Amino acid sequence: MNAPSSRGVVWLGSPAFPDAAREALKDTRLRANLKRATSTIRDKRLAVASELDDWEALRDAAAAIKKCTARHLDHYLVELEASVTAAGGTVHWACDAAEANRIVTELVRATGESEVVKIKSMATQEIGLNEHLAEAGITAYETDLAELIVQLGDDRPSHILVPAIHRNRTEVRDLFAAEMGHWGQPAPEGLTDEPADLAEAARRHLREKFLTAKVAVSGANFAVADTGTVVVVESEGNGRMCLTLPDTLITVMGIEKVVPTWSDLEVFLQLLPRSSTGERMNPYTSTWTGTTEGDGPSAFHLVLLDNGRTDTLADTVGRQVLGCIRCSACLNVCPVFERTGGHAYGSVYPGPIGAVLTPQLIGVENAATLPFASTLCGACYDACPVKINIPEVLAHLRAEAVEAKNGHTAEALAMRAAGKVLDSPRLLAAAQKAASLGGRALARRGTIGRLPGPMHGWSDTRDTPAPPAESFRTWWRKNRENKEGEQS
């Protein structure tokens, strides 16, 4: 499958994961920020998850609901469209990023406005909506605090829940002081880097936007098919402002976010805050059903985005990834993410979920190093509230990445040769003898130090023991069999 260029998702020109990671690892401040942030949130998550004695049952229920909904996705989406329409909203279908961007731009143009307020939405980042709106002369103002920081810094998000996790508060202070004035209300004189001061500066800056904006763009965490209710879960209340104050609300939502009923929603509302922020309940859960006369926006548009999702659904192993509720628990427990940060994944979806989602959305050959950006340690699978078996999908995508290269690589030749040797005890014994001789020739006092060539990455920081003079099978034959029991 070739990724249509209309699909967005990946930052064009991003280096391959190992190269991007190497650069990121040099940033010691980033690593310290990440370690502190991820370990705090990890502990909080474990504490609130262990409070519920039915936690595992909730995870099973969540996985089952997502699986069943995905199997009948066509049905639930049509049901959602009908109930949203009946409640006074308008539903639009977008097969890819280009179509979604066009729809949103036209909707904003039709209002005659040239500014929109936005609440954090991964789907609009995925399609590059802000950039697209800017080309059309429309300015989008991010109102989630972390998104605001990212926008002011002309930066990329590096975490699903904490997009500015790579910035510390001194950096944020400097950014506010230098940039807020270009976007609207400037930061007050003498701004300190105290969290309360920073929050106050952001509040004043954003308030002006909330009070003047006529159009808002949001994402959605869930949409309930049978009532047509859309749900946004957040911490700051800025989303609530966006969702209620403007005249027109445009929501862009991936098609996998639909759930059949409110009783299904209930399961996720227990799992999501505990898994993402480590809270029992998030401060703001906004739900709305179409439009209501005299209360909130008078026009509501729901853009349903495919952008690679039905292709993902066709993959019997990979489709489980569509169950993701973007809680970011897998990022916070991932030992690779903790060291490299999110930018190395080259996508709006970082960490373990990014490593399995991005290649599926844009085609594995376009993100071929991502499925290998993991030790398969399994921490993500244990943490995932929807029980997505990320290591299983990683291994599956590795096979697809290899297949996409048709066996025309040095690695493929080496693997085939190794396969031949390993399928023959006789050849294996010969290879062991050779490795023993060669290894011992390279070794000094029993260890092999730095090596050139393809093994330099390994041997730069690790010694390797010299292979022993005698393999186990040789020892066994000499000591236990005293006869030749070997066939090939």
Q: How far is the CB of 321 from ligand SF4 (least distance, A)?
A: 7
Q: How far is the CB of 164 from other proteins (least distance, A)?
A: 22
284 binds other proteins (CB under 8 A): no
Of the candidates 70, 62, 67, 43, the one whose C-alpha atom is nearest the C-alpha of residue 270 is 62
329 binds ligand SF4 (CB under 6 A): yes
- CB atoms under 10 Å from CB of 232, counted, come to 22
Choose which of 138, 324, 394, 466 interacts with ligand SF4 (CB under 6 A).
324
Report what 385 binds from ligand SF4, other proteins, none; CB cut-off 5-8 Å by kind: ligand SF4
| Near ligand SF4 in 347-406, by CB under 6 A | 353, 383-386, 388
| Near ligand SF4 in 259-298, by CB under 6 A | 275
Q: How far is the CB of 4 from ligand SF4 (least distance, A)?
A: 25
CA 366 remoteness from chain centre: 17
283 binds other proteins (CB under 8 A): no
What's the CA gap between 161 and 144, in Å, rounded?
Answer: 10
- CB atoms under 10 Å from CB of 89, counted, come to 22
339 binds other proteins (CB under 8 A): yes
Cα–Cα distance list, 436 to 150, 156, 466, 470 (Å): 54, 49, 7, 8
Q: How far is the CB of 361 from ligand SF4 (least distance, A)?
A: 14
3-state secondary structure of 49: helix
Burial class for 131, CB neighbours closer than 10 Å (0-12, 13-18, 19+): exposed
DSSP 185: S
The tokens describing 203, both together, are 């509040």
What's the CA gap between 9 and 240, in Å, rounded?
Answer: 26
430 binds other proteins (CB under 8 A): no
Give the CB-side neighbour count of residue 451, counting CA atoms within 13 A. 19
* Part of the chain binding other proteins (CB under 8 A), chosen from 142-150, 232-240, 256-264, 430-438: 430-438
Q: How far is the CB of 359 from other proteins (least distance, A)?
A: 12
Burial class for 12, CB neighbours closer than 10 Å (0-12, 13-18, 19+): exposed
Nearer to ligand SF4, 10 or 172 (CB): 10
Q: How far is the CB of 79 from other proteins (least distance, A)?
A: 35
Of the candidates 114, 121, 105, 162, the one whose C-alpha atom is nearest the C-alpha of residue 137 is 114
411 binds other proteins (CB under 8 A): yes
What's the CA gap between 149 and 443, in Å, rounded?
Answer: 53
Q: How far is the CB of 476 from other proteins (least distance, A)?
A: 5
328 binds ligand SF4 (CB under 6 A): yes
485 binds other proteins (CB under 8 A): yes
The tokens describing 265, both together, are 């929603």
* Part of the chain binding other proteins (CB under 8 A), chosen from 16-24, 125-133, 193-201, 299-307: 16-24
47 binds other proteins (CB under 8 A): no
Give the CA-trace dihedral at 417, 420, 422, 424, to 10 degrees.
Answer: -150
Tokens 């862009």 appear where?
252
Report what 324 binds from other proteins, ligand SF4, none; CB cut-off 5-8 Å by kind: ligand SF4
| Near ligand SF4 in 62-101, by CB under 6 A | none
What's the CA gap between 96 and 305, in Å, rounded?
Answer: 7
What's the CA gap between 320 and 310, in Å, rounded?
Answer: 12
What's the CA gap between 226 and 260, in Å, rounded?
Answer: 6
Site string for other proteins, 383-402 (x = CB under 8 A): ------------x--xxxxx
Report what 134 binds from other proteins, ligand SF4, none; CB cut-off 5-8 Å by kind: none
Interface positions with other proteins (CB under 8 A): 17-18, 21-22, 25, 31, 335-336, 339-340, 369, 371-379, 381-382, 395, 398-403, 411-412, 415-416, 418-419, 422-425, 428, 431-432, 435-436, 447, 449, 454-455, 457-458, 460-465, 467-468, 470-473, 475-477, 480, 485-487
Interface positions with ligand SF4 (CB under 6 A): 275, 324-330, 353, 383-386, 388
